[in-house]
Amino acid sequence: MVTELAPRQIVDDLVLANHILSNEGVLDAFGHVSARHPTATDRFVISHTRAPELVEPDDLQLLDLHGARVAGGERRSYEEVAIHAAVYRYRSDVGAVVHSHAPSVIPFGVTAVPLRPIYHMGSVIGHEIPVWDIATRSGDTDLLVRDEQQGDDLAAALGRRTVVLMRGHGCVVAGADIRAVVFTAIYLERNATLLMSASALGKVRTLSEGETQRAAAMLRGPAGERAWEYWVRRLPAHRV
């Protein structure tokens, strides 16, 4: 019974988050989204290894903050649950995590151009986004974050921020809850696309730090619900 794993609202939102992030082009067959258990806060909910677009309530499992399965059956976990576990360990304020290979984000991880918000909708990504390189400590790897040391190192690079890029791999987005992290992951993708277009035209004026903070605070308000309703309605199964 999935309701043993987490409250119904968490389960429902997490399944929708998997579908929305696929439908909006943030995730493909790969990447994942998780949510911290609201009361057993040293646990988080995430699907076993399956393409996000196909995730249903029965696919969810409960893991501890070292990535070990606690409930939800024996099916194999994603290779990189260490990413989620590490962020939840480091950040008690974080209630949901997305790891993606969102297309427009990849170029900013392999070039020297910083990814910055250029419009108010992009402000949710924060003023500064670090690029973490697994090779700095681990040398040549398959790029996956597989153990606690790598997870610790990545979480430290994230720090108190919302987004960290992973060189040659993708990004991690941290948020207060599932809907917030979905919002940030989608506008991270949109803002990165727009910044690439703008950069091709010439020198780009990005948002100031003050604008970024004020716009992000505004977007943490009712705007989130308007967007969530829209993204749900766009899902093939929810179209009227």
Task: Name residues contacting a copy of itself, limited to 55-74 (CB under 8 A).
Answer: none
24, 79, 80, 148: which is the annotated catalytic residue? Answer: 80
**Does residue 80 carry a catalytic annotation?**
yes
Instruction: Give me the amino acid identity at 118.
Output: I
10 Å CB burial of residue 233 (0-12, 13-18, 19+) is exposed
Residue 75 binds a copy of itself, judged by CB under 8 A: no
Do 207 and 215 meet the contact criterion of CB atoms below 8 Å apart?
yes
> Closer to a copy of itself at the Cβ: 19 or 43?
19
Applying CB under 8 A, the site for a copy of itself has a residue count of 72
Measured from the CB of residue 97, what is the shortest distance to a copy of itself in angstroms? 19
Binding region for a copy of itself (CB under 8 A) out of 7-15, 86-94, 101-109, 153-161:
101-109
> Closer to a copy of itself at the Cβ: 4 or 139?
139
Closest by CA position to 41, among listed 177, 195, 155, 227 = 177
How crowded is residue 225: how many other Cβ atoms within 10 Å of its Cβ? 10
Q: Which two tokens stand for residue 25?
A: 């082009």
Measured from the CB of residue 225, what is the shortest distance to a copy of itself in angstroms? 9
Among 28, 64, 128, 152, binds a copy of itself (CB under 8 A): 28
* Contact string 109-148 vs a copy of itself (x = CB under 8 A): xxxxx----xxxx-x-----------x---xxxxxx----
Among 106, 155, 163, 172, binds a copy of itself (CB under 8 A): 106
What angle do the packed helices 178-201 and 223-234 form, to 10 degrees? 90
10 Å CB burial of residue 211 (0-12, 13-18, 19+) is middle
Q: Which two tokens stand for residue 136?
A: 């700095």
Measured from the CB of residue 52, what is the shortest distance to a copy of itself in angstroms? 9
Expressed in angstroms, the distance from the first to the final Cα of the chain is: 29
Among 12, 25, 38, 51, binds a copy of itself (CB under 8 A): 51
> Closer to a copy of itself at the Cβ: 4 or 236?
236
Measured from the CB of residue 190, what is the shortest distance to a copy of itself in angstroms? 7
Among 9, 136, 223, 238, binds a copy of itself (CB under 8 A): 223
* Footprint (CB under 8 A) of a copy of itself, residues 149-208: 167-170, 190, 193-194, 196-208
Strand-pair partners of 170 = 166
> Closer to a copy of itself at the Cβ: 43 or 170?
170
| Residues labelled catalytic | 80
